[in-house]
Structure 1
Amino acid sequence: MHVINFISLCLDPDANKCHARGCTWDTEIPTNMPVCYIPKWKGGYELVGHEKITQWDIQYKLRRLSKKPIKNVPFSEELDFSLFGNDIDNLKLKITTSGMNIIRLKILDDDRERYEVPIPIKWYPSNVEQQQQQQKIKFRLTKTKYNQIGFQIVRVDTKALLFDTSYFAEGFIYDDKYLQFMTTIPSKNIYGMGENTHSSFQHNLNSNMRYGIFARDQRPIGLNENLYGTHPFYMVIENDGNAFGVFIFNSNAQDYKFSLFERDKSMLTYRTIGGILDLFFFAGPTPEDVVQQYQQVIGTPYIPPYWGLGFQLGRYGYNTLDNMRAAMNRTLSNKIPLDVMNDCFDNNLDFTWDHTRFKNLPEFINSLHEQGMKFITILDPAIDSEKENYSTFLEGQKKDIWIKWPKNKNIQFNETEWWKTEILNYHQKLKFDGLWIDMNEPSNFDTSKDHSWNWPFREDWNCPVDEWDDPIYKTAIKGDRLSDKTLCMIVEQSNGSHIFRHYDVHTLYGWSQTLATLPAAQATENKRSVVISRSTFPTSGKYGGHWLGDNSAKWSHVKYNIIGMLEFNLFGIPYIGADICGYYGNASEQLCQRWMQEGAFNPFFRNHNGGFIDQDPGSWSPPVVESNRKVVETRYTLLPYLYTLFYRAHIMGGTVVRSMAHEFPEDSQCWSLDEQFLWGKYLLIAPVIYENHVQKEIYFSGLNSNERWYNYYTGEEMYQTADGSSFVTVPAPLNHLPLYLRGGAIIPHQKHALNTQKSRLLPMYLKIALDKQQNAKGSYLFNVT
């Protein structure tokens, strides 16, 4: 197979520029496309020394090879090579381990400090007792015949190379604003990395797409666009069923590309334009082990209050309290359970409501509480500076807490206290129960455009043309400049103790707002609360959940809902869901009916849209309203099980929703399945996600061997088809969601009511599904909040 280190197909479209970098312009590759690439004898770094601090803490000194004479290179070839001319000559490579299953590879500039992600993570290097245990994975340094070093992570028992840059040693680049590595992967089963819209849960290696990662207010409409959050974590299921994970701890703009390598292998090309390379490797060997090990580093997920698992209803544009009340009444009058109402602010001003159109809103919220229901309101990070007598702005101005232009000597460190005070003061007026924080990428429309459509003044909002907004390599992100639809990259902000350039910490904005919002929300009533954030970063799951953004009322987005839900469980944010029935566009009745069925098994379950037709579950024809009632009631009976899954994830780490491949990694039929999913280990959900389909093909793993599966509603045991297949087609009329229980499960249930406060007073019962050994087990957590 003809494999070349593809470096600059997009960077250098002509031979002259390619040669100027010291690269080769090749027109003879099999695709007959000219490509610029680094010859094998150029680029990379050599080993010049190492220090063994302990057996589990080793540091290597690396030096850039370019311009250094090397033997065994083609005659008369110049060794000069640099993509951008700012390569860092001397690097320090630090290898540390934590326990038997985690290795950290950290590559730093050996001559000066560089920006590192200022988020506290849990990193506990191995102690003496752990050092005596057998490592499951090991680090290995390799050397090419041209002296270039490569990095390998090896699984000890199988000798599998989980991570191997050796083949691409010349492509290891550590420029001041361009860091790159390429690695082979011992499988084609790759999951994770984002936040992007992926057409499948298992990465499509034939797409030839580079995906950008950089927080952006971007609707999920394009398959290679960077969306709201940043999660450079991926998991691989090897061909023998073992799994491992890789976390790249970097917050700068970055991109990645998974592609085919050879036979049963694949490869990753990763690039970032700042910070350092800080990689964590997780040995597994099961997918759930991988996620738990990842959460040992980033923290386990928060557990929402029980009511936060109930059905939520909202709309960006009820326009009046009467309209909001009507949507609620349509739901409740049709006996559809409902726990939470959501709504927005007045004229886009935080901590306000429209006293004309939403007159008596405080009294309405009090009436919700009397019925056992809750209210969640929205907050954005942008504070209006032009509204007269706007107390939130005036207090912020007094405390001088705004993001600043560079070299401003008055950057303050009390933003969190100001934010908490504003939330507590607002709660004195409006007794909300949770907070929904939006637009926190942060979003700013039409930056550096001629004139912003939503800015009433004549001044343009233009960012300087400089190395921060217009870097040497922009990465595969949407927009002409990094500041597109956000802030200028040159501005500065603080975290309470240090000052950072927005270029480095842009993707941390949503994380920092979530971190500040949850304690404030909890302080309003000294109770657990709900916080849902649009922008997220690793560790965000410790402080709140996420919804999948401004989706559309399209059938393809029903599937994107499943994929996003599965990915965010890998990312450590299991309190996840989509805007059921779509935020943009008018949902058809059938689409909304099927999406309500699938959405009832989103951990975060909310029907929400913009200014389009009514789509609340009581607004449709009687058969669809009845179907909606039925599926929401089913969810409510299962809430004890769902809450227990959250408790286990919070205490032990792990997922709440998982793919079939996650639970059955040795079954190759499961690797690509993403149209059915599991709650925990035992409840299989198989929604219909295509228009006019009234049957569903479901794969029952292990049906021909050691597993038993039962129809959730009837208890009927499932069997293979007449031709011996475990793919079974079942009836799925419009009013039916196929659900199945795996043998060996004891699932706690509780009778449903119109909200969780009422349902928790009702009797509980168990469903027991025996495995082939006639055994079953389960657990249940009861908590009063």
Structure 2
Amino acid sequence: MLPRPFSFIVSFFTFLLCFSKASFVFGLDASKTGTIITSSTLPTSSTTYRALPTPSVATLGIPQQPSVNEPYRGSTCPGYRALNVSESANGLIAALELRGSPCYSYGKDYSHLLLNVSYDTVDRIHVSISDIEGKQFRFTNHSDVWDAPLYHDLTYPSNRSYTFFYNSDPFEFWVVRNTDNELLFDTRGHHLIFQDQYVELTTNMVDDYNLYGLAETVHGLRLGNNITRTFWANGDNAPLDGNSYGTHPFYLEQRYRPAANDSPVNQTGYHSSSHGVLMLTANGMEVLLRPNYLQYRMIGGVIDLYIYVGGSDDPKKTVSQFVKSIGTPSMQQYWTLGFHISRWGYSNVSDILDVRKSFSDFEIPVDTFWNDLDYMYMYRDFTVDPISYSKDNMLEFFKEIESTHQHYVPLIDAAVYAANPNNRSDDSYYPYYNGIENDVFIKNPDGSIYVGNVWPGYTVFPDFTNPASSEYWKDCLVNLTHDFGANSSGFPTFTGLWIDMNEPTSFCVGSCGSAHLDENPVHVAFVLEGETNNVVYSYPEGFNITNATEYSSVYMSSLSQFHATATSTLEKVKATPTPLSVKPDYNVNNPPYALDIEQGNGDLADEGVSANATYYNGTLRYNLFNIYGYGMAKATYNALTSIYENKRPFVLSRSTFLSSGKYAAHWLGDNYSQWSNMFFSIPGMLTFNLVGLPMVGADACGFMGNTDEELCSRWMAMAAFSPFYRNHNSLGSISQEPYRWGSVAESSRRAMSIRYSLLPYWYTLMKDAHTEGFPMIRPLFFEFPNEQNLAGVDRQFMVGDALLITPVLEPNVSHVQGVFPGNTSTKWYDWYNHTVIDRQYGENVTLYAPLEHINVAIRGGKIVPLQKPALNTFETRQNPFNLLVALDDNEYSEGTMYVDDGESITQNSTLTIKLLCKSNQLSINSVGDYHLQPPLANVTVLGLSQAPSRVLMQNTEIHTFTYLNATKELIISNLENNTMNGAFSSNWTISW
């Protein structure tokens, strides 16, 4: 959900700017000029807000000039020399001494440092540089807050695959991979800077390097070599190249080198290798990517650098090394792979029930119904509106979805309403008073409770670093289940939780509500989209071409709205007072080095809880700024394991950090109904898959603004191939459930038919992610690493290793171009007609793509398990299996399927099936004792060169087979009687 709406004025000027270009791009984030609420602009007919007074604080911060845009100050810094070096089998320890006078570039230089190089594992080295006095915050000293295998899996092997080198004066170091002498990290020629509020480390980079990761931002997959990535968790929506909700300071580098003449690599002409680098910190940081170097600039903490050796020709190996070191992602419940429908604007239970009925009437699959803020009483966490979402109505709703094996997920925000001490009706608000009693809220430096401003008014924020917060959070969630009727229903209530605004976001600067709790509840300090004089008029690019009449009407209406509000709004903005500044004990609110942050005007506290807010045991938020969403996800995950015994918790989190995948899935936040945002969702999903958060997706059709038929049709089809598949849109926008338009309904049905049939394949990919850290969806170069031309491809993607997706990403077209990797012996088959796709190596192939169609290709050499699709995941799991066998040029193919009960944390039994086809014989080998009841119905073999004379299953002849000469396709059907005890209950062989 969006952190705050967008100024109508800025949106309107954007509209005027883009009108002549036929590009209808609304929704610029404009808190810089935010529409400030007064009592006269409050909605008069809203059923959501009661009579709410005006907040007394503005949302503006103190202007900051980003230091990255100013002349560089570090050129005179002397660097350090190494002294008293001590080497051992486990690593190296040394003192580092400042080589000259302090340079005071952005703080006070430390005269002496401690170098500790640890040969952690065979493929990972840890380089730590800290101040000898121990004054700097060390993230690695707080394993109670963030814990990971990399703290515990130390083996110090003698056969390590890397070598650490260094020069003493000036101190420089470099790390080399032993197998090919590749330089993985090299600080030579760059002085180390280590100050109390500024740490700088630089590595040389190869020419035209290929770098990926450093999430989260809106950017293409390949990062390029002239950008700055800022790590400062921020509630701003979809900022292009700016800091966003999460921070994952890991990158993967892919390199290519010419292959020798006798190389076994065919046609590509290259060999490749990859490695990874993690700078482990929760402090604010920038990473400067420049043509010949990469530079870390941290505003606090120490250097905790981890280098993952990776290896040749398989980037997945590097990703696996990294993800295993921070903790592999959780295994989600089976139903989470289904389709999810949501919106901010389901004003009562009847709205959701009507949506549920419409999905059934239009025969569109759906597994889960979601609620945004609408279900809450006055936007307050852990409450249920007694009228719109009455207990009786909710019980009826839970009975309905239980009968059809569907699910419900509500939203919980990070901010807890701060009760008004003078309002007796607030006395019963348990989450606030219980939190006060247990002392679990974030504080100001003086020990008072930090009070921000979010949806319900003035709010407080649980401190998830406090051990007492775990029990507090669980109690709040238990009470919520009771409010939904869990005591008397006999039915489950929510089967997952959506945690939002957990950067955490606040709509004012500093502890703005500390002296104003007697004003609560207050309306947020801006007009929400959909409220009076703030109608949503934005539509996708190209809308004026295909919807000219509607576009004209929208344009005239937006002009009318602008003239009605522009003058008064501008006056309110000019009259906005400057917020009071807070003087911290340390210079943390405005440090000497100003980060190039996206939000507001550069104030670190704009849109979020201030850097000087204080966590448990006095730790400043400045030093743990980026970890709040992780802590909330962990607490929610642990609470749900207590509420639903041995059931895997499903948690969807907006803000994420390293290891968040252990506890949560992620969606890409508050995107726009724009074609550009549809495209950027692809690199967004691919990037999160390589940083250990594979269960990810974007809000299909867009969250903010109005979608249209064409965009929604294309997006629903593409999103069916994302790990997390949800349609969600904002308050005030038009409804965008897929049945609203004929073409969107048909596009969705077709794509969902494929997705639901692929559920066994998806679930196996999830298992591989959980055990090995492998991505569920992948860039093309992950599967074809020796093809240098694939290094920047992000308009196509792979689902696992078998499926290639080529979506349409622009309006008003009926064709799309895509590349089909591999050498001339690689086969690709069209999903729909099973023909071999005619392509040459490296060729961009033009594919027919009418509105309701998405191009899907199957890679030769792969066996894909399928089930007959139904209208939800439960029903699909009861249906017969099919096997799709796509032969390669040697008529060989293989695959794997993993099965368990789909919901338990601890499994009583599992089943892994290995599938192999070679020499005219398809066989399975099952390991495990989990019993699958559904039989095998059909086997389809693609690429079989000639028709068989007969088909045998074990020793039984099968007469129901067909060979299609036009497509070289063998179809073996009606196998149910041969597999009545279950498709994979025993090993079998089919031969021809």
| CA displacement at 1:296 relative to structure 2 | 2.2
Kept in 2: contact 1:703–1:719 (CA 8 A): no
Q: 301, 304, 314: which one pairs with 1:275?
A: 301
Measure the CA separation in 1 of the matches of 2:73 and 2:578.
41
Return the letter of the residue paired with 1:123. Answer: L
- Give the structure 2 partner of residue 72 of structure 1: none
- Give the structure 2 partner of residue 481 of structure 1: 603
Alignment of 1:528-543 (within 5 A): 528-543=648-663
Measure the CA separation in 2 of the matches of 1:665 and 1:319.
49
Mark the CA change 1:459 to 1:543 in structure 2 (over 3 Å): closer, same or farther. Answer: farther
Kept in 2: contact 1:336–1:633 (CA 8 A): no
Kept in 2: contact 1:233–1:246 (CA 8 A): yes
Within the alignment, does 1:142 sit opposite 2:164 as a pair? no
Bigger relative contact order, structure 1 or 2 (CA pairs below 8 A, ≥6 apart):
2
- Give the structure 2 partner of residue 122 of structure 1: 149
- Give the structure 2 partner of residue 406 of structure 1: 445
- Give the structure 2 partner of residue 6 of structure 1: none
- Give the structure 2 partner of residue 501 of structure 1: 620
Measure the CA separation in 1 of the matches of 2:158 and 2:415.
53
Secondary structure of the residue that 1:669 maps to in structure 2? helix
Mark the CA change 1:377 to 1:711 in structure 2 (over 3 Å): closer, same or farther. Answer: same
Q: 873, 877, 883: which one pairs with 1:760?
A: 877
Return the letter of the residue paired with 2:86. Answer: E
Kept in 1: contact 2:107–2:592 (CA 8 A): no
Kept in 2: contact 1:234–1:246 (CA 8 A): yes
Measure the CA separation in 2 of the matches of 1:605 and 1:189.
29
- Give the structure 2 partner of residue 254 of structure 1: 285
Q: 426, 438, 441: which one pairs with 2:480?
A: 426
Kept in 2: contact 1:686–1:698 (CA 8 A): yes
Secondary structure of the residue that 2:895 maps to in structure 1? coil
Q: 456, 460, 464: which one pairs with 2:582?
A: 464
- Give the structure 2 partner of residue 777 of structure 1: 894
Within the alignment, does 1:59 sit opposite 2:178 as a pair? no
Secondary structure of the residue that 2:749 maps to in structure 1? helix
Secondary structure of the residue that 1:363 maps to in structure 2? helix
- Give the structure 1 partner of residue 16 of structure 2: none
Measure the CA separation in 1 of the matches of 2:137 and 2:501.
26
| CA displacement at 1:565 relative to structure 2 | 0.1
Return the letter of the residue paired with 1:225. Answer: G
| CA displacement at 1:201 relative to structure 2 | 0.5
Secondary structure of the residue that 1:50 maps to in structure 2? strand
Mark the CA change 1:462 to 1:504 in structure 2 (over 3 Å): closer, same or farther. Answer: farther
Q: What are structure 1's unaligned runs of at least 5 residues?
A: 1-8, 15-34, 68-79, 262-266
- Give the structure 1 partner of residue 803 of structure 2: 683
- Give the structure 2 partner of residue 161 of structure 1: 183
Mark the CA change 1:165 to 1:402 in structure 2 (over 3 Å): closer, same or farther. Answer: same
| CA displacement at 1:461 relative to structure 2 | 7.3
Kept in 1: contact 2:67–2:594 (CA 8 A): no
Measure the CA separation in 2 of the matches of 1:51 and 1:608.
57
Mark the CA change 1:39 to 1:534 in structure 2 (over 3 Å): closer, same or farther. Answer: closer
- Give the structure 2 partner of residue 614 of structure 1: 735
Kept in 1: contact 2:280–2:305 (CA 8 A): yes
> What whole-Å deviation, never above 9, does each CA across 1:33-70 have from its counterpart, x for those lacking one?
xx556558x52111112112x32321121111123xxx
Measure the CA separation in 1 of the matches of 2:673 and 2:345.
17
Measure the CA separation in 2 of the matches of 1:239 and 1:60.
35
Kept in 2: contact 1:234–1:247 (CA 8 A): yes
Stretch of structure 1 that moved more, 185-194 or 729-738: 185-194
Q: What are structure 2's unaligned runs of at least 5 residues?
A: 1-64, 258-271, 421-425, 450-462, 485-492, 514-521, 527-575, 903-992
Return the letter of the residue paired with 2:210. Answer: N
> What whole-Å deviation, never above 9, does each CA across 1:326-362 have from its counterpart, x for those lacking one?
2222222111110000003232111122222223123
Q: 213, 222, 238: which one pairs with 1:192?
A: 213
- Give the structure 2 partner of residue 183 of structure 1: 203
> What whole-Å deviation, never above 9, does each CA across 1:149-172 have from its counterpart, x for those lacking one?
21211122222212111122x3x2
| CA displacement at 1:442 relative to structure 2 | 0.5
Return the TM-score normalized by structure 1. Answer: 0.88
Return the letter of the residue paired with 1:352. Answer: T
Within the alignment, does 1:732 sit opposite 2:835 as a pair? no
Return the letter of the residue paired with 2:397. Answer: F
Within the alignment, does 1:321 sit opposite 2:349 as a pair? yes
Measure the CA separation in 2 of the matches of 1:103 and 1:541.
23
Measure the CA separation in 1 of the matches of 2:510 and 2:149.
39
| CA displacement at 1:289 relative to structure 2 | 0.8
Mark the CA change 1:398 to 1:173 in structure 2 (over 3 Å): closer, same or farther. Answer: same
- Give the structure 1 partner of residue 251 of structure 2: 234
| CA displacement at 1:407 relative to structure 2 | 5.2
Kept in 2: contact 1:97–1:125 (CA 8 A): no
Alignment of 1:260-659 (within 5 A): 260-261=291-292, 267-285=293-311, 286-344=314-372, 345-359=376-390, 360-386=393-419, 388=426, 389-406=428-445, 408=447, 413-430=467-484, 431-448=493-510, 454=524, 462-466=580-584, 467-478=587-598, 479=600, 480-494=602-616, 498-526=617-645, 527-611=647-731, 612-620=733-741, 622-659=742-779
Return the TM-score normalized by structure 2. Answer: 0.70
Measure the CA separation in 2 of the matches of 1:685 and 1:43.
52
Kept in 2: contact 1:327–1:618 (CA 8 A): no
Number of aligned residue pairs: 719
Measure the CA separation in 1 of the matches of 2:767 and 2:512.
51
Measure the CA separation in 2 of the matches of 1:367 and 1:749.
28
Kept in 2: contact 1:362–1:429 (CA 8 A): no
Kept in 2: contact 1:99–1:125 (CA 8 A): no
Return the letter of the residue paired with 1:245. Answer: G
| CA displacement at 1:323 relative to structure 2 | 2.0
Kept in 1: contact 2:73–2:105 (CA 8 A): no
Measure the CA separation in 1 of the matches of 2:670 and 2:68.
36
Return the letter of the residue paired with 1:613. Answer: I
Return the letter of the residue paired with 1:157. Answer: T
Stretch of structure 1 that moved more, 109-118 or 592-601: 109-118
Measure the CA separation in 2 of the matches of 1:39 and 1:421.
54
Secondary structure of the residue that 2:673 maps to in structure 1? coil
Secondary structure of the residue that 1:422 maps to in structure 2? helix
Kept in 2: contact 1:450–1:460 (CA 8 A): no
Mark the CA change 1:167 to 1:519 in structure 2 (over 3 Å): closer, same or farther. Answer: same
Return the letter of the residue paired with 2:900. Answer: N
Tell me the percent identity. Answer: 31
> What whole-Å deviation, never above 9, does each CA across 1:636-683 have from its counterpart, x for those lacking one?
001110110011111122211110122222101110100000111111
CA RMSD of aligned residues (A): 2.4
| CA displacement at 1:291 relative to structure 2 | 0.9
Measure the CA separation in 2 of the matches of 1:125 and 1:605.
35
> What whole-Å deviation, never above 9, does each CA across 1:511-537 have from its counterpart, x for those lacking one?
000001012123323212210000000
Secondary structure of the residue that 2:524 maps to in structure 1? coil
Return the letter of the residue paired with 2:351. Answer: N
> What whole-Å deviation, never above 9, does each CA across 1:94-152 have from its counterpart, x for those lacking one?
11123321111111112224312221121268877x6242x322221135xxx312121
Secondary structure of the residue that 2:335 maps to in structure 1? helix
Mark the CA change 1:491 to 1:463 in structure 2 (over 3 Å): closer, same or farther. Answer: farther
Return the letter of the residue paired with 2:867. Answer: Q
Mark the CA change 1:762 to 1:177 in structure 2 (over 3 Å): closer, same or farther. Answer: same
Measure the CA separation in 1 of the matches of 2:199 and 2:365.
51
- Give the structure 1 partner of residue 573 of structure 2: none
Measure the CA separation in 2 of the matches of 1:525 and 1:733.
45
Find the structure with the greater CA-based Rg: 2
Measure the CA separation in 2 of the matches of 1:463 and 1:560.
37
Secondary structure of the residue that 2:256 maps to in structure 1? coil
Kept in 2: contact 1:703–1:720 (CA 8 A): no
- Give the structure 2 partner of residue 89 of structure 1: 111
